[in-house]
Amino acid sequence: MIVSALPVAIEDKIDPALLALMAADSQKLLPVIVEMQQPVPPFIGAPNVNRALEALDLLRFNGVPVAALSLIDAAAGFANAAGIDALSLVPTVAFIHHDATVGPQPSAAPPVPPATADQVSGVYPRVVRADKVWQQGIAGGGVTVAILDSGVAADADLVQPDNNRILASVNFADERLTSDPGGHGTHIAGIVAGNGTRSGGEFIGIAPQANVVDVRVLGSKGSGRISSVIRGIEWVLAHRAAYNIRIINLSFGAPATLPYRIDPMSAAVEIAWRRGLVVVAASGNGGPQRDTVVTPGIDPYVITVGATDDRGTLGRGDDMLAWFSAWGSADSNAKPDLVAPGRRIVSLRVPGSALDTLFPDRVVVAQNGATYFRLTGTSMATAVVSGAAALLLAGRPNLTPDQVKALLVGTTQPYGQDSGQVLPDPIADGSGLLNVYAATIAVPCDAAPDPGLLSGGFLVGTLFSPTPVPCANRGLRPADGFARALYPVLFGSPLQWQDPLAGGIFWPLLTWDTLLWNSAAWDNFAWDSVVWDSIAWDSIVWDSIAWDSIAWDSIAWDSIAWDAFTLD
C-alpha cells in the first residue's frame, strides 16, 4: 500500500530564528509577522490593505491575530509550530518572520576605565558645530522629527505655555499610564530638539526650534516588537503632511538575524525613505566586534549612526570611537555611515521613570539647579544626527532623503588625532565625525551650483567650492518586502533594466503583464531610474486599519529590562 506523504512546512519561507523556537517548544505561541506575496493585477481599492487583511485572516485560522501591517502587506500575531507550518504552505504567503524584540541595545562595561574622570557632555552641539548653524539663524524651526521610542514627556525644554513643540502623541506599545514610563524617549527628544529653557541655556539640543511627534513603540519594560515599529512608521507616513514630519529617529534595534533583503524592518524604513522621510537609525551597542550592527541600521538606504566619546571637551583631537559602537553587517554593507557624540550625553530627565529610578547617579544638576540626565549609547548619537538633519531641512526644505544623507556623510570632520586610538577597522566609524555646519554650506548631490541666500542671509555659491558632495544610495538593491509592497505603485511605469541579458533572458521584451515580479527581476531592475516623486503613491493607503483586534497590554512583551542598559 502506498501512503501519500503529508505536506511539510516550506522551511525557506520561515525565519531561521523562528524555526529554532519552534523546535524548542512546538506548543508555545510565538510572535510572528506573516508577509504576503505582492497583489495580482487588476488592483482594486487599496491592494496593500487587502493583502494585510488576508494575512490577518490566515492568522485567525492558524493562530491568534494581533494587527494588520498594510505598510508591508503583512499582519502580526501569534502561532505555534503547527500553525506556522500551515501558514508556510499557503501559496500567497511570502515569508513568516519572527516578530522579534526591539529596544535600546545593552552593552558590556568599558574594556578599561578611562584614565581621567571625563566630564559629562553638554558640549556635543558645539563638537558637531551645530552652534555655527544657529548663528546663521537656522535652528530647525518648522521641521518635525518623529521620535519612535518609549514616549516623550512634556518637559519645559519642549513645551512652553505659548509654544508646544510636541505636536502629537500616539501609542503602539503597552498601556501608557504616564507619557514616558521609561525615560529613554524624552532623553532622545531633548538631544534632538531641547531648547535649554530649564537650564538657562546650559543644556541645549541640536535643533532647538524643531518640533517632535511622540510615536511610542517601546513598552514600559524598555522593549517592543518589530510589528510595533512598523505600525509606528505607518502612522508617520499617514500623518507626515499634517505635521511636516521629515525625519524618523530610531534609537533602538533588534539583532540582525536575516539579510536586509529579507528583513521586515528594512522594508518598512525603505518605503518611508522613498516617500520622502529621512530615517536615522542606531548602529547598536554591540561593538567593538565586527558585524554587530542591528536592524534596521543594517539597511543600506538609511543613515546609520555610530558613537564617539567626546570626553566632555570641545576639542576633537582627544575624541575616540566609543568602545561599544557597533560596526559592520553580514551583508557587507559598510555601516555605520558616520559617527556622532554618544557617551555621557546630558539631556532631559523624566523624574520617577524607569531609568531615573534605576540610575540615580546619572542625574546631572545644571548651574541654576535644574536637573537633567546623562545616558550613553548609539541611541544618543542617533538623536544628534536626527537633529542635524532637521537643521539641514530647515535651511533647505527641498532636499531629498538621499541628498540629506549625502550631505551629512560627505562633509564629516576628522577626530581623535591625539587620542592614540587605532580603529578596529577603517569602516568602523563610517566617513567620520558629524560636521553639521559643513553640511549646511555644501552643495548637494544632483544639484547645480545655485548662488542664492540661505535663510539667515548666507550667500550660497560664493563662500565655498561649488563641487557637490558624492551622491548617496546609488546602485542599491532594495529589500524584498519593499519590492513586493511597491509593485502596485510601480506597475505600468517604464521598465528599465541594469543588464538587458541577465540570466539569459532578453529583458527588454518583457512588459508588466509578462514580467514575473520576483527576486531575479528585483536584482536586475534599474531602481535608480525611478522618479519617486512622480509615481502613484495615492494607490497606497497608510494607517487604514485600527489596532483593535487585540489589546496591546495583553501582548506578552519580551523584556529587555531597562536595568540591562549598563552603559555609563
Q: Where are the beta strands (DSSP E) in 51-155?
A: 64-69, 74-79, 93-98, 101-102, 144-149
Please check whether residue 411 is in contact with residue 438, taking contact to mean a CB–CB distance below 8 angstroms.
yes
Measured CA to CA, the distance from residue 424 to residue 251 in angstroms comes to 23
Radius of gyration of the chain (CA): 23
Please check whether residue 66 is in contact with residue 52, taking contact to mean a CB–CB distance below 8 angstroms.
no
Helix (H) or strand (E) holding 321: strand 320-321
Helix (H) or strand (E) holding 59: helix 47-62
Measured CA to CA, the distance from residue 388 to residue 191 in angstroms comes to 10
The string of DSSP letters for 406-423 reads HHHHTT-B---TTT----
Count of alpha carbons within 13 angstroms of residue 284, beta-carbon side = 25
- Enumerate the H helices of 121-276 as residue ranges: 124-127, 130-134, 184-193, 226-243, 264-274
CA distances from 324 to 95, 306, 361 (A): 33, 9, 21
Q: What length is written for the chain?
A: 568
Burial of 560 (0-12, 13-18, 19+ CB in 10 A): buried
Please check whether residue 393 is in contact with residue 247, taking contact to mean a CB–CB distance below 8 angstroms.
yes
Burial of 242 (0-12, 13-18, 19+ CB in 10 A): exposed
Q: Which residues of 306-334 are buried (b: 16+ CB within 10 A; e: fewer)?
A: bbbbbbbeeebebbbbbbbbbbbbebebb
Q: Which residues contact 17 (CB under 8 A, 6 or more apart)?
A: 98, 100, 257, 258
User: Dmax of the chain from CA atoms?
Assistant: 88
Amino acid at residue number 25: D
Look up cell 542598559; give the residue.
565
CA distances from 382 to 232, 276, 279, 561 (A): 18, 19, 10, 21
Residue 34 φ/ψ, nearest 5 degrees: -100, 110
Supply the residues annotated as catalytic.
149, 184, 379
* Nearest one of 100, 97, 102 to 34, comparing CA atoms: 97
* Nearest one of 149, 325, 324 to 222, comparing CA atoms: 149
